[in-house]
Amino acid sequence: MKRKLHFNLFDVFVYSFCGLFAFICFYPLWYVFIGSISPYDRFSSAQIAFLPVGIPSLRYYVAIVKGPSFQLAFLVSVIKTVLGVAGMILITSCLAYGVSKSHVKGMKFINIYVIICMYFGGTIIQYYLLFSTLKLINTIWVMIIPGYVNVWTFIIMRNYFANNVPDSLEDAAMIDGANEVVLFARIIMPISKAMIAAMVLFSAVGHWNDWVSYTYYCNDIRLQPFVKILQRLLITPSLAVSGGTNEMMDEAVNIPPIALQYTTIMCAMLPIIAVYPFLQKHFAKGILIGAVKE
Amino acid sequence: MNRAIKHKQQSNSLLGHIKKHWFLYLMVLPGVIWLFVFHYLPAGGIIIAFKDYKFMKGVMASPWIGLENFRALFRDKDFYRVVRNTVLINLYTLLVGTPFTIFLALMLNEIRSKSTKSVIQTAVYLPHFISWVVFAGLIGVLLSPSTGIVNKLIVLFGGDSIYFMSKPEYFRSIVVGSSVLKNTGWGTIIYLAAISGVNPELYECAVLDGANRFHLMWHITLPRIKPTIAVLLILNVSSMFASNFEQIFNLYNTFVYSTGDVISTFLYRRGLLEGKFEMATTLGLVSGLISIITILITNRIIKKMGVIGII
């Protein structure tokens, strides 16, 4: 809609408000970033920092990357995220595709069967008992398997398969002799790439940031995901400093604790920041695709 | 028998469908089994709430004691404390967060330069992807009594520095404030989508009648997105008894239990750490039931208001 293009007081207010809020959202992370690359003694004496203080260096990152418990935790997080996302996309998309064919007998029932899960469930106590019966406690699988069916993702996928895949395309493929396997793998999935990409990214971020499943169901220190180390450093520093149950702190002893916190935060955020540009492109579109019927 | 008729009969029965669409059934099988094991089985385990659970005997063999666990729960002062904290925190977050999110969405909509809007949106969506671990750590740094910016400002104006995070009276505000900061940006997505669906002709007519941009916002945009606001309100009110473990666990400490301990953190300590399984399960069951009832009631109210409900 064309409006007269002069810049008035209203615009000043709009831009200042949005700009201020955007600054509040962005600055803390920026502050942590420059704190991780500036030498700590200079940084802590500076009152408010907008730019790196002193000569920026990556020595804190190097110290962390050398630490064996950091390496192990990073590896655990990567494995957990890869296996968790792959499994979720596979199982949930198959489930959603089947249910999207609502004319097939039983699929409507399965639809309700899945949706009901949103409204009730067991508490962590029940999950703990189930996992210990299945001998999953204190394994990496307990952090992976419970994510395999995500009802929110299911709904979006189901809607997408039902509404945005043209019937004519499917019919044409069937006529050309494709069976349902080929139809799904070679035709449906490539068409849904944008939506699947959005779901992959959300799931990956969720898995990467997940420290709760470890906290509830594991206590083996070798299994901790990277974000759990971060949680120990930031939230319960007494544990970290005393070094009692945490052998990891011996290699970090040479870095000032605050610098260690900042650098670990940046390491934990790195994968997210790396995929963030792609997220930007996909998420609004990806979510809304599932909701809008074309 | 006529082969055409027989074929038709066969293909409309369940068996016929399974034969024809066997691949589809195979596809949904893993998901269905997974949901049964990892959702319906634990859900069934709720019956612990009606039993005197003995670990050695397992769930099925433990003796039934009916509503005794519920009576014990309702007699426990802690129950009322955590429910009150949960509801109050959710209520405050709703009262502060919803208007703020709508306002931010309206403001974002008014930005005329596409590139500026895109940059600002990138910045405001960011906190949503930051883990609560990091976010709570940042709040702790901000509010630190010795090195935090807030206290530095207070000291500058002549006051004494306050250890905010350990004071029960400040804790709920800290929780609400950090929630708003983290979730507002992301929350604008849905409102922006709704706003973009408003018919541009309405704006043009109003401008011809002499409306300024504030009038447009107040008299056209807002009323037109009322259904969206209502739906999101239902969704938020229905989670009035849900508690965000990630956020509270990373922000709280023993000093603020009186105002900050919520259902999920209490359940974690009592249930998992102290091993009081029946009490924790009963608590979970009760709060789950209250949630469902709340959804149904709010849905009723919204329907009466003339807006479409979600159920």
For residue range A273-294, list pLDDT tens digits in order: 888 877 776 666 655 555 544 4
Per-residue pLDDT tens digits for A161-211 = 888 888 888 888 878 877 777 788 877 878 888 888 888 988 998 999 999
Strand partners, B54: B58
Contacts of A121 in chain B (CB under 8 A): 39, 42-43, 288
Distance from CA of A66 to the nearest CA of B (A): 22
Give the pLDDT mean for A72-77: 92
Q: What does the pLDDT read at residue B105?
A: 92
Contact A227 B133 (CB under 8 A): yes
What is the DSSP track for B106-149? HHHHH---HHHHHHHHHHHHHHHHS-HHHHHHHHHHHT-TTT-H
Q: What does the pLDDT read at residue A3?
A: 52
Contacts of A149 in chain B (CB under 8 A): 31, 34-35, 38-39
Of residues A235 and A131, more confidence is placed in A131
Contact A122 B42 (CB under 8 A): yes
Contact A95 B32 (CB under 8 A): yes
Binned at pLDDT 50, 70 and 90, residue B311 comes out as very low
For the record, the structure tokens of A87 come out as: 């499994």
Lowest mean pLDDT among A59-63, B28-32, B87-91: A59-63
Integer Cα distance of A88 and A142 in angstroms: 14
Binned at pLDDT 50, 70 and 90, residue B17 comes out as confident
Of residues B307 and A63, more confidence is placed in A63
| Residue A192 phi, psi (nearest 5) | -90, 15
In this structure, which amino acid lies at residue A119? Y
Nearest to B272 among A15, A205, A216 (CB): A216
Distance from CA of A67 to the nearest CA of B (A): 21
Binned at pLDDT 50, 70 and 90, residue B297 comes out as confident
Per-residue pLDDT tens digits for B59-98 = 777 788 878 888 888 888 889 999 999 999 999 999 999 9
B281 touches chain A (CB under 8 A): yes
Q: What does the pLDDT read at residue B11?
A: 60
- Residue A150 makes CB contacts below 8 A (sequence gap 6+) with A88, A92, A203
Residue B232 has pLDDT above 50, yes or no: yes
Residue B260 has pLDDT above 80, yes or no: yes
Nearest to A122 among B43, B142, B272 (CB): B43
Give the pLDDT mean for B244-264: 88
Nearest to B126 among A17, A29, A145 (CB): A29
Contact B211, B201 (CB under 8 A): no
Residue A243 has pLDDT above 50, yes or no: no
Per-residue pLDDT tens digits for A83-142 = 999 999 999 999 999 898 888 888 899 999 998 888 778 888 889 989 988 988 989 999
Q: For a pLDDT cut of 70, what percent of chain B falls above it?
A: 94
Lowest mean pLDDT among A222-236, B45-59, B175-189, B267-281: B45-59
What's the mean pLDDT when you consider all of chain A?
81
Give the pLDDT mean for B29-48: 90
Query: Which residues 109-168 of B have a C-beta within 8 angstroms of A?
Result: 110-112, 116, 119-120, 122-127, 129-131, 133-134, 136-138, 140, 142, 147, 149, 152
Give SS3 for B55.
coil
Contacts of A265-270 spanning 24+ positions with Cβ under 8 A: A265/A32, A265/A36, A265/A230, A265/A234, A265/B134, A265/B137, A266/A32, A266/A33, A266/A36, A266/A61, A267/A61, A267/A64, A267/A70, A267/A74, A267/A226, A268/A226, A268/A227, A268/A230, A268/B131, A268/B133, A268/B134, A269/A29, A269/B130, A269/B134
Quick one: which of B137, B207, B56, B116 has its CA closest to A14? B116
Of residues B242 and A87, more confidence is placed in A87
Nearest to B272 among A92, A124, A184 (CB): A124
Q: What does the pLDDT read at residue B194?
A: 87
Residue reference for tokens 């399984």: B277
Contact A211 B43 (CB under 8 A): no
State which residue of chain A sits closest to B239, comparing Cα positions: A119
Quick one: which of A257, A77, A265 has its CA closest to B130? A265
Contact B193 A184 (CB under 8 A): no
State which residue of chain A sits closest to B58, comparing Cα positions: A129
Integer Cα distance of A162 and A166 in angstroms: 9
Binned at pLDDT 50, 70 and 90, residue A253 comes out as low
Reduce the secondary structure of chain A to three states and give it as a string.
CCCCCCCCHHHHHHHHHHHHHHHHHHHHHHHHHHHHHCCHHHHHHCCCCCCCCCCCCCHHHHHHHHCHHHHHHHHHHHHHHHHHHHHHHHHHHHHHHHHHCCCCCCHHHHHHHHHHHHCCCCCHHHHHHHHHHCCCCCCHHHHCHHHCCCHHHHHHHHHHHHHCCCHHHHHHHHHCCCCHHHHHHHHHHHHCHHHHHHHHHHHHHHHHHCCHHHHHHCCCHHHCCHHHHHHHHHCCHHHHHHCCCCHHHHCCCCCCHHHHHHHHHHHHHHHHHHHHHHHHHHHHHHHHHHHCCC
Integer Cα distance of B96 and B149 in angstroms: 23
Q: What does the pLDDT read at residue A238?
A: 53
Q: Residue B95, class by beta-carbon neighbours within 10 Å (0-12 exposed, 13-18 middle, 19+ buried)?
A: exposed
Contact B280 A145 (CB under 8 A): no
Strand partners, B58: B54
Distance from CA of A68 to the nearest CA of B (A): 22
Integer Cα distance of B8 and A92 in angstroms: 32
Distance from CA of A90 to the nearest CA of B (A): 9
Contact A120, A195 (CB under 8 A): no
Q: What does the pLDDT read at residue A242?
A: 42
Contact A268 B131 (CB under 8 A): yes
Contact B17 A123 (CB under 8 A): no
Contact B28 A107 (CB under 8 A): yes
Give SS3 for B166.
helix
Quick one: which of A136, A150, A138, A57 has its CA closest to A95? A150
Cβ atoms within 10 Å, residue A251 = 15
Contact A7, A240 (CB under 8 A): no
Nearest to A92 among B31, B245, B277 (CB): B31
Per-residue pLDDT tens digits for A21-40 = 999 898 888 888 888 888 87
Which residue out of B12, B13, B34, B38 would a mutagenesis test of the A interface target, given it has the greatest number of A Cβ atoms within 10 Å?
B38
Give the pLDDT mean for B173-181: 92
Contacts of A106 in chain B (CB under 8 A): 14, 17, 25
Per-residue pLDDT tens digits for B129-154 = 888 988 888 888 788 877 777 887 88
Integer Cα distance of A60 and A39 in angstroms: 9
pTM attached to this predicted model: 0.82
Quick one: which of A123, A183, A192 has its CA closest to A158? A192
Integer Cα distance of A53 and A51 in angstroms: 6
Contact B177, B143 (CB under 8 A): no
Give the pLDDT mean for B262-289: 87
Nearest to B42 among A26, A29, A130 (CB): A130
Residue A46 has pLDDT above 80, yes or no: no
In degrees, rounded to 5, the angle at the alpha carbon of residue A166 between the alpha carbons of residues A164 and A172 is 155
Lowest mean pLDDT among A201-205, A233-237, B192-196, B221-225: A233-237
Contact B76, B89 (CB under 8 A): no
Q: What does the pLDDT read at residue B21?
A: 80
Residue A58 has pLDDT above 80, yes or no: yes
Contact A1 B34 (CB under 8 A): no
Contact A123 B200 (CB under 8 A): no
Which residue out of A126, A209, A265 would a mutagenesis test of the B interface target, given it has the greatest number of B Cβ atoms within 10 Å?
A126
Distance from CA of B45 to the nearest CA of A (A): 6
State which residue of chain B sits closest to A227, comparing Cα positions: B133
Residue A244 has pLDDT above 70, yes or no: no
Cβ atoms within 10 Å, residue A37 = 21
Integer Cα distance of A149 and A153 in angstroms: 8
Predicted interface score ipTM higher than 0.85: no
Contact B62, B51 (CB under 8 A): yes
Contacts of B277 in chain A (CB under 8 A): 125, 129
